[in-house]
């Protein structure tokens, strides 16, 4: 299934994409969040006849495909070719950091550069959405705890991330730095999650071309690993790293500026497009 949330920010409704048509599923689940991403709720959606679901008229805004996650976790330097472009060694274990859950926005919403930003950057990533409470799960059973997958743009302020001391999260959780969607795609729709093409353009110029095949730690390894350090709850989001082509890795480096447009996508998971603006609010 391809699940979506549509409507104005803070007032999104759950929907299903079927045959290219957006259909309302609000009578089945109140939202795509928390326990409503569990096996029982997804089973009720799957059991419905899509042709009987109400068609959503017009072209509403598409919101983030997951609402109110408790945790938004990221894996750093998880693509061998990206680690190479940054000159970093291959990690022996996954590098983990937090993104602020309230930085999540819709796939086509505006990205706002933070106040005093100097080095904001782009990162197309595969995100995992958890569907069941997960603690000390083994790799063999990890996929049973996954509700689905989506596209994430792990927007990052590199000066905040690496030049201000402390943790990477300083440059990762700024407002609007977590576009998710357009769809939450359930695992049954994906033949091989470790063989998905990925891409990102800035102003029509291809910057990133990659594949989930070059991930150092794959989906089941990541879910299992993180569950040994914390309890994952339904609706939590894990974004899994980026292929090469980030602005930081270019010679000379290239960073986002107001007026830029990012377009990105992953095979089978849909596409995003964001306009970049400068700091506009306190």
Question: Cβ(120)–Cβ(113) under 8 Å?
Answer: yes
Q: CA nearest 264: which of 278, 243, 248?
A: 243
Backbone phi and psi for residue 6, each to the nearest 5 degrees, phi listed first: -130, 155
The pLDDT score that the predictor gives to residue 77 is 87
Continuous H helices in the chain: 39-47, 80-86, 139-142, 158-162, 219-227
- Per-residue pLDDT of 214-237, as tens digits, reads 999 999 999 999 999 999 999 999
Give the start-end residues of each E strand in 72-186. 72-76, 95-98, 104-105, 111-112, 120-121, 124-130, 146-153, 156-157, 178-179, 184-185
Q: CA nearest 237: which of 69, 43, 88?
A: 69
In this prediction the pTM is 0.96
Instruction: Quickly list DSSP for 55-81.
Output: BPPS-PPB--SS---S-EEEEES-BHH
The pLDDT score that the predictor gives to residue 121 is 97
- Cβ-in-10-Å burial (0-12, 13-18, 19+) of 213 comes to middle
The pLDDT score that the predictor gives to residue 21 is 97
Question: Cβ(252)–Cβ(84) under 8 Å?
Answer: no
The pLDDT score that the predictor gives to residue 282 is 56
265 DSSP β-pair partners? 199, 271
Residue 189's alpha-carbon distances to 167, 243, 264, in angstroms, are 36, 23, 20
The pLDDT score that the predictor gives to residue 47 is 97
Tokens of 14: 């759950």
Where the chain has pLDDT below 50, the residues are none
Domains along the chain with CATH numbers: 2-52 (no CATH), 72-277 (3.90.850.10)
Q: How far apart are CA 40 and CA 220, in angstroms?
A: 22
């Amino acid at each position: 299934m391809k699940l979506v949330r549509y409507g104005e920010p803070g007032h999104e409704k759950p929907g299903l994409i079927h045959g290219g048509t957006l259909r309302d599923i609000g009578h089945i689940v109140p939202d795509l969040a928390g326990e409503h991403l569990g096996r029982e709720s997804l089973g009720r959606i799957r059991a419905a006849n899509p042709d009987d679901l109400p068609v959503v008229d017009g072209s509403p805004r598409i919101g983030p495909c997951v609402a109110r996650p408790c945790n938004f976790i990221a894996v750093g330097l998880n693509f061998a070719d990206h680690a190479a472009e940054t000159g970093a060694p291959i990690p022996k274990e996954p590098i983990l950091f937090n993104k602020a859950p309230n930085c999540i926005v819709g796939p086509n919403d505006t990205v706002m550069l933070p106040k005093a930003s100097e080095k904001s950057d782009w990162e197309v990533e595969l995100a995992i959405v958890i569907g069941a409470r997960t603690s000390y799960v083994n790799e063999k059973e990890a996929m049973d705890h996954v509700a689905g997958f989506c596209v994430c743009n792990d927007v990052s302020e590199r000066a905040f991330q690496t030049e201000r001391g402390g943790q990477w999260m300083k440059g990762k959780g700024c407002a609007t730095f977590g576009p998710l969607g357009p769809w939450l795609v359930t695992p049954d729709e994906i033949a091989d999650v470790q063989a998905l093409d990925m891409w990102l353009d800035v102003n029509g110029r291809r910057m990133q071309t990659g594949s989930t095949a070059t991930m150092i730690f794959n989906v089941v390894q990541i879910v299992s690993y993180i569950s040994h350090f914390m309890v994952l709850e339904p609706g939590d989001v894990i974004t899994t790293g980026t292929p090469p082509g980030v602005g930081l890795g270019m010679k000379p480096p290239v960073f986002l500026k107001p007026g830029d447009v990012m377009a990105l996508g992953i095979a089978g998971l849909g596409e995003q497009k964001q306009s970049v603006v400068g700091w506009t609010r306190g």
